């Protein structure tokens, strides 16, 4: 599983660096307000699709292993997919009637000119997430990762360069973005259908809503859990647009994009691990479940610690490369990175709970967090601006992580406090000192920053592999393979 995790992580980081190129290049062809418009559209659609999915993504992950070897597999797949699109139609109808209210929330202005892209992207994003989840349970997530994070972003990079060369406008970019999103959906659907191994008949394509009723309790609880989780991820950007304006949203979005280098670690490794955890939970194979948990945990922290060190130390330099107006986001990067490191450091406790009979834990704990998220952002944003939004978001992540960790330990005996995890933190602290020193004596530009980061990772890996005898050190494994 470690090898699969590394492949997925490499693909994700390829996509991430392409995404970072987009981040660095966007200010050259767009204003901060236009970047804020994109961030607002993405955040709104992310929240709306929670209701269009209504916990059905979690239903796929939890129950597909139950039906994949039965005659009900086709009925299960078609019923879930059709139900999700019926819910999507209902949300689109509500969006149509709520258009005036949404535009007035942002004080009118440019968001009204681009409102049409909200329902359009909602349809595309809904479809992408649905079939991406299918790819995970079918164990072809590496291919779907390539489609979403590499092919799409290469096209995006290319178009941004063309915008710069030919002075293309923002509306042209938005049209291109929608076309590429549509192509991504088509690829995702083809990938999933190809690997489902079902000989479809007309009867299989007709959904059975009575069959779906058996999942209503689970999907409802997962819906509420997803709402609060996505509120923590997106409400800050939406409320910044309301309190501070779209320009500040753009600055915040750029800073958050830098911290995605940490979040992508968790997402990459969970693509491989989560379907396995689902199978182990359904078969009550606790020893294998614990083994998978710790393999995933160590991978998370191994890469998470060094990325945390690098983006925290270089946060000011990264944003200055983009432009002086983005320097306001330095504190945002560090604060959000702390919350992301907390999330990486407890592993997949929450995912295990949500796949088990204890899934109602997510409902109760995240329902409480909804009120904390709204209240904390409403208090901190007017007081401290975008830094206040970062404090609220990071605090909510840490509080929820503590709840998950304690409950998972009580029910499954798993926890992140081991000698191995301590090795990662010590190694990260050791490497942070010379990196901070180098930052002060070497002029920081994109090339120097990249070289220092690369060699810092190599030294960090050497400390882990040869100083702490960690068997999954990359350089140690390469050396072992060469030595025979």
Query: Is 423 inside a domain boundary?
Result: no
Final residue of a domain: which of 378, 395, 417? Answer: 417
Q: Give a yes or no: residue 284 inside a domain.
A: yes
Whether residue 478 is contained in a domain is answered as: yes
Same domain, 401 and 447: no
Q: State CA 339 to chain mean position distance.
A: 13
Instruction: Taking each helix axis as running N to C, give the angle between helix 419-441 and helix 286-313, from 0 to 180 degrees, rounded to the nearest 10.
Output: 10
434 shares a domain with 404: no
Residues 352-375 have a mean pLDDT of 83
Q: Which of 395, 417, 439 is the last residue of a domain?
A: 417
Lowest mean per-residue pLDDT among 76-80, 148-152, 425-429: 148-152
Q: Among 417, 445, 465, which residue terminates a domain?
A: 417
Buried/exposed 230-252: b ≥16 CB within 10 Å, e otherwise: bbbbbbbbbbbbbbbbbbbbbbb
Whether residue 382 lies inside any domain: the answer is: yes
Identify whether residues 462 and 383 lie together within a single domain: no
Q: Are residues 386 and 435 in the same domain?
A: no
Number of folded domains that form the chain: 2
CA distance linking residue 87 with residue 130, whole number of Å: 13
367 and 443 together in one domain: no
Predicted confidence at residue 9, as pLDDT, reads 58
Q: What does the block give as tokens for 254?
A: 């750029």
Is 424 a domain residue?
no
Mean pLDDT of the 45-57 span: 90
- Name the pLDDT band for 15 (thresholds 50, 70, 90): low
| 155 shares a domain with 277 | yes
CA 233 to chain centre: 9
177 inside domain:
yes
Residues 438 and 410 in one domain: no
Residue 205 reports pLDDT greater than 80:
no
Range of the domain at 450: 430-484
Are residues 342 and 459 located together in one domain of the fold? Answer: no
- Give yes or no: residues 28 and 154 share one domain: yes
Decide: 431 and 456 in contact? Cβ < 8 Å: yes
In a domain, 204, yes or no: yes
- Whole-Å CA distances, 227 to 54, 58, 186, 220, 371: 9, 13, 27, 11, 12
- Indicate the average pLDDT of the chain: 86
399 and 439 share one domain: no
Token pair listed for 417: 């406090």
Residue 406 and residue 443 in one domain: no
pLDDT at 223: 82
User: For residue 19, what pLDDT band results from cuts at 50, 70 and 90?
Assistant: low
Closest residue by Cα to residue 350 from 260, 211, 196, 229: 229
Query: Is residue 248, in this structure, part of any structural domain at all?
Result: yes
Whether residues 378 and 261 fall in one domain: yes
In this predicted structure, the answer to whether residue 231 has a pLDDT above a threshold of 80 is: no
Place of tokens 């990249």: 450
Task: Over range 388-395, report the average pLDDT.
Answer: 90
* Distances 392 to 82, 239, 331, 370, 444 between C-alpha atoms, Å: 37, 12, 13, 12, 31
* 2 has a pLDDT exceeding 60: no
- Dihedral of alpha carbons 346, 348, 354, 356, sign: negative
What distance in Å separates the CA atoms of residue 51 and residue 53, rounded to the nearest whole number?
5
pLDDT tens digits, one per residue of 429-474: 999 999 998 888 887 777 888 888 889 999 999 999 989 988 888 8
Q: Annotate the chain with three-state secondary structure.
A: CHHHHHHHHHHHHHHHHHHHHHHHHHHHHCCHHHHHHHHHHHHHHHHHHHHHHCCHHHHHHHHHHHHCCCCCHHHHHHHHHHHHHHHHHHHHHHHHHCHHHHHHHCCCCHHHHCCCHHHHHHHHHHHHHHHHHHHHHCCCHHHHHHHHHHHHHHHHHHHHHHHHHHCCCHHHHHHHHHHHHHHHHHHHHHHHHHHHCCCCCCCCCCCCHHHHHHHHHHHHHHHHHHHHHHHHHHHHHHHHHHHCCHHHHHHHHHHHHHHHHHHHHHHHHHHHHHHHHHHHHHCCCHHHHHHHHHHHHHHHHHHHHHHHHHHHHCHHHHHHHHCHHHHHHHHHHHHHHHHHHHHHHCCCHHHHHHHCCCCHHHHHHHHHHHHHHHHHHHHHHHHHHHHHHHHHHHHHHHHHHHHHHHHHHHHHCCCCCCHHHHHHHHHHHHHHHHHHHHHHHCCCCHHHHHHHHHHHHHHHHHHHHHHCCCCCCHHHHHHHHHHC
Query: Residue 8: which pLDDT band, with cuts at 50, 70 and 90?
Result: low
Of the chain, the percentage scoring pLDDT greater than 70 comes to 94
């Amino acid at each position: 599983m470690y090898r699969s995790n590394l492949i997925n992580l490499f693909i994700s980081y390829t996509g991430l660096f392409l995404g970072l190129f987009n981040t660095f290049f966007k200010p050259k062809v767009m204003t901060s307000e236009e970047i804020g418009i994109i961030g607002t559209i993405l955040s709104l659609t992310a929240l709306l699709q929670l209701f269009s999915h209504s916990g059905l993504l979690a239903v796929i992950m939890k129950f597909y292993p139950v039906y994949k070897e039965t005659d009900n597999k086709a009925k299960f797949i078609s019923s879930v997919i059709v139900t999700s699109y019926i819910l999507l139609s209902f949300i689109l109808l509500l969006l149509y009637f709520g258009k005036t209210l949404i535009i007035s929330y942002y004080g009118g202005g440019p968001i009204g000119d681009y409102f049409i892209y909200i329902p359009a992207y909602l349809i595309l994003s809904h479809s992408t997430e649905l079939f991406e989840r299918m790819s995970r349970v079918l164990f072809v997530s590496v291919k779907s990762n390539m489609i979403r994070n590499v092919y799409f972003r290469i096209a995006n990079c290319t178009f941004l360069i063309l915008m710069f060369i030919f002075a293309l406008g923002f509306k042209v970019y938005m049209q291109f973005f929608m076309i590429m999103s549509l192509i991504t959906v088509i690829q995702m659907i083809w990938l999933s259908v190809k690997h489902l191994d079902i000989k479809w008949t007309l009867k299989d394509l007709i959904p059975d809503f009575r069959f779906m009723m058996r999942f209503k309790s689970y999907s409802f609880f997962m819906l509420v859990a997803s709402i609060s989780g996505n509120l923590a991820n997106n409400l800050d950007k939406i409320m910044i647009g309301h309190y501070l304006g779209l320009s500040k949203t753009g600055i915040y979005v750029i800073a958050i994009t830098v911290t995605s280098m940490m979040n992508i670690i968790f997402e990459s490794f969970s693509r491989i691990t989560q379907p396995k955890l689902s199978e182990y939970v359904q078969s009550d194979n606790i020893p294998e479940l614990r083994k998978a948990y710790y393999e995933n945990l160590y991978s998370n922290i191994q890469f998470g610690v060094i990325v945390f060190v690098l983006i925290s130390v270089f946060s000011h330099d990264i944003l200055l490369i983009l432009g002086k107006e983005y320097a306001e986001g330095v504190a945002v990067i560090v604060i959000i990175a702390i919350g992301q490191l907390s999330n990486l450091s407890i592993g997949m406790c929450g995912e295990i709970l949500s796949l088990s009979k204890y899934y109602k834990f997510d409902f109760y704990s995240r329902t409480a967090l909804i009120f904390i998220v709204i209240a904390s952002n409403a208090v901190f944003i007017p007081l401290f601006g975008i830094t206040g939004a970062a404090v609220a978001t990071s605090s909510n992540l840490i509080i929820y992580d503590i709840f998950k960790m304690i409950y998972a330990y009580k029910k499954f005996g798993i926890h992140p406090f081991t000698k191995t995890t301590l090795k990662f933190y010590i190694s990260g602290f050791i490497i942070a000192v010379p990196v901070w020193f180098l930052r002060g004596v070497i002029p920081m530009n994109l090339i120097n920053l990249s070289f220092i980061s690369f060699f810092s990772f190599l030294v960090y890996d050497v400390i882990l592999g040869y100083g702490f005898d960690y068997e999954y050190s990359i350089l140690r494994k390469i050396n072992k393979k060469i030595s025979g």
